[in-house]
């Protein structure tokens, strides 16, 4: 146990991932029952995510001056939409350069994913909750965030007329308790990650990757290019060392890569944003949850790359207008998409039929969804933190002493 205490949580998770791959390959399908430990870990994290998001957004918005909310909201929206559009465009460029859909010889089976038949009216309407308790029970993050934004805004407005310090104090204390629960659960992360990776490699195996190795290679290259550009842009804009910035992002990157879930990674992202990047809680606790639901750079890259891949598989040529439509669809499909493993297939069911591609073609990518989800989640999570850092710089709310510190302030050192 003393030996483990000397190893950071990040390295413990990395070790768990490597051991999980080896165990899955050596033992094979017989290792499947071990998945129970991974599922327990995911559930324990997920049980806190909804109330964590609510509390964080309410506290962040409630602490703002009501006149600042609109200005900050416009900045957040602009950065989210801009980065998502760039990611979608990058996916198209990589698709045409690497051509991951050519040379695939796979017999497609009927896809279990159903086409999304909701009209634009329904999609917009579903952003707004009719019953917030129902939204919470179904973990509908968009609806939960809408309610939380209104709750926090009401606190901000009423605070000028009424003393709501007791209410805000209670919300802050509640958030501290929830974050502590998450810290306790995160101690299970190495075992949970080991179990999930062992199950994936043992039951699915690496053979399923081979026919689509070029697709995963394109995802990996896209992830590296996008993160390099984002890190350099942020480091230049915020005036920090890009290598130090990369190091500070490492823990959330590892958790995102191994869990393939933005929701599971949210507590780590928020903690590291405040205790490693030096971002103020006011910015971190607003941008973090909003980014989880609304800023999906990795998913946008995946959707546009997947569309190009499937078009190449069927030998279909897209026109310039088709390509523009693809970028727009890939960007819009990211809004509020499920933030748990498997959400990429749901988003594909929105984009693929709209481009005239057969719905059953989704089955081609279903077998590698977990593996492509690793890259998607890294971009989704890390880009949120970098946007939060840019906004914190604009608001003069970065503690450079924390950022430049070589001592880990997070729970890893505890």
pLDDT at 123: 66
pLDDT at 220: 95
174: nearest Cα among 153, 192, 148: 148
Return the number of other C-beta atoms located less than 10 Å from residue 109's C-beta. 10
Given a contact cutoff of 8 angstroms between Cβ atoms, the answer to whether 141 and 335 are in contact is no
Given a contact cutoff of 8 angstroms between Cβ atoms, the answer to whether 392 and 286 are in contact is no
Contacts of 11 (CB under 8 A, 6+ apart): none
73: nearest Cα among 173, 156, 179, 129: 156
Which residues are paired to 279 by β-bridges?
Answer: 398
pLDDT at 414: 37
Rounded CA gap, 223 and 235, in Å?
Answer: 18
3-state secondary structure the chain: CHHHHCCCHHHHHHHHHHHHHHHHHHHHHHHHHHHHHHHHHHHHHHHHHHHHHHHHHHHHHHCCCHHHHHHHHHHHHHHHHHHHHHHHHHHHHHHHHHCCCCCCCCCCCCCCCCCCCCCHHHHHHCCCCCCHHHHHHCCCHHHHHHHHHHHHHHHHHHCCCCCCHHHHHHHHHHHHHHHHHHHHHHCCHHHHHHHHHHHHHHHHCCHHHHHHHHHHHHHHHHHHHHHHHHHHHHHHHHCCCHHHHHHHCHHHHHHHHHHCCHHHHHHHHHHHHHHCCCECHHHHHHHHHHHHHHCCHHHHHHHHHHHHHHHHHCCCCCCHHHHHHHHHHHHHCCCCCCCCCCHHHHHHHHHHHHCCCCHHHHHHHHCCHHHHHHHHHHHHHHHHHHHHHHHHHHCCCECHHHHHCCCCCCHHHC
Residue 188, CA distances (Å) to 42, 199, 271 in order: 10, 17, 17
State both tokens at 238.
């915020």
State both tokens at 38.
């991974």
pLDDT at 161: 85
Rounded CA gap, 33 and 325, in Å?
Answer: 44
Return the number of other C-beta atoms located less than 10 Å from residue 202's C-beta. 22
**pLDDT tens digits in sequence order for the chain, 414 residues long:** 455 566 777 778 888 888 988 998 899 889 989 989 988 988 887 788 788 888 888 887 887 777 777 788 889 889 988 998 999 999 999 999 999 988 766 555 444 444 455 566 776 787 788 998 998 888 777 788 889 889 988 998 888 888 888 998 998 899 889 888 888 888 888 898 899 888 878 887 666 677 788 999 999 999 999 999 999 999 999 999 999 999 999 999 999 998 888 878 888 999 999 999 999 988 998 888 888 877 889 888 999 999 999 888 888 888 888 888 888 877 776 665 544 455 666 677 767 777 777 777 777 787 788 888 889 999 989 999 999 999 999 999 999 999 998 765 444 433
- 2-413 CATH, one of 3.40.50.1360, 1.10.3860.10, 1.10.940.10, 1.20.200.10: 1.10.3860.10
pLDDT at 327: 82
The domain ranges of the chain are 2-413
Backbone region of residue 323 per phi and psi (left: phi > 0; alpha: psi in -120 to 50; beta: other values): alpha
pLDDT at 246: 95
Given a contact cutoff of 8 angstroms between Cβ atoms, the answer to whether 227 and 379 are in contact is yes
Given a contact cutoff of 8 angstroms between Cβ atoms, the answer to whether 44 and 185 are in contact is yes
């Amino acid at each position: 146990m003393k030996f483990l205490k000397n190893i950071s949580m990040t390295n413990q998770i990395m070790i768990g991932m490597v051991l999980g791959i080896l165990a899955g390959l050596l033992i094979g399908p017989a290792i499947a029952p071990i998945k129970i430990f991974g599922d327990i870990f995911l559930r324990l994290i997920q049980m806190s995510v909804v109330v964590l998001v609510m509390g964080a957004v309410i506290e962040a918005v409630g602490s703002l001056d009501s006149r600042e909310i609109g200005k900050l909201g416009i900045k957040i929206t602009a950065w989210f939409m801009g980065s998502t559009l760039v990611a979608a465009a990058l996916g198209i460029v990589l698709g045409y350069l690497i051509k991951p859909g050519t040379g695939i010889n796979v017999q497609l089976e009927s896809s279990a994913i159903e086409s999304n038949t909701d009209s634009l009216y329904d999609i917009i309407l579903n952003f707004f909750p009719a019953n917030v308790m129902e939204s919470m029970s179904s973990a509908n993050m968009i609806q939960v965030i809408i309610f939380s934004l209104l709750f926090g805004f009401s606190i901000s407005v009423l605070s000028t007329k009424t003393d709501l310090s007791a209410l805000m104090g209670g919300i802050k204390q509640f958030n501290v308790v929830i974050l502590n629960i998450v810290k306790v659960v995160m101690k299970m992360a190495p075992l949970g990650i080991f179990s999930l990776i062992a199950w994936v490699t043992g039951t699915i195996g690496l053979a399923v990757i081979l026919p689509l190795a070029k697709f995963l290679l394109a995802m990996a290259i896209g992830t590296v290019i996008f993160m390099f550009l984002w890190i350099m842009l942020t480091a230049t804009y915020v005036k920090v060392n890009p290598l130090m910035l990369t190091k500070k992002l490492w823990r959330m990157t590892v958790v995102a890569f191994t869990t393939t879930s933005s929701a599971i990674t949210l507590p780590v992202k928020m903690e590291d944003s405040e205790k490693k990047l030096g971002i103020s809680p006011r910015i971190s606790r607003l941008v973090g949850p909003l980014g989880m639901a609304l800023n999906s750079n990795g998913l946008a890259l995946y959707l546009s790359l997947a569309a190009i891949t499937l078009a190449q598989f069927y030998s279909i040529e897209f026109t310039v207008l088709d390509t523009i439509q693809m970028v727009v669809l890939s960007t819009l499909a990211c809004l509020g998409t499920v933030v748990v493993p498997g959400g990429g297939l749901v988003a594909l069911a929105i984009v693929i039929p709209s481009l005239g591609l057969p719905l059953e073609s989704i089955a081609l990518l279903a077998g590698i969804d977990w593996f492509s989800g690793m890259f998607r989640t890294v971009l989704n999570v890390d880009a949120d933190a970098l946007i939060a850092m840019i906004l914190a710089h604009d608001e003069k709310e970065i503690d450079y002493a924390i950022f430049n510190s070589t001592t880990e302030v997070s729970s890893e050192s505890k």
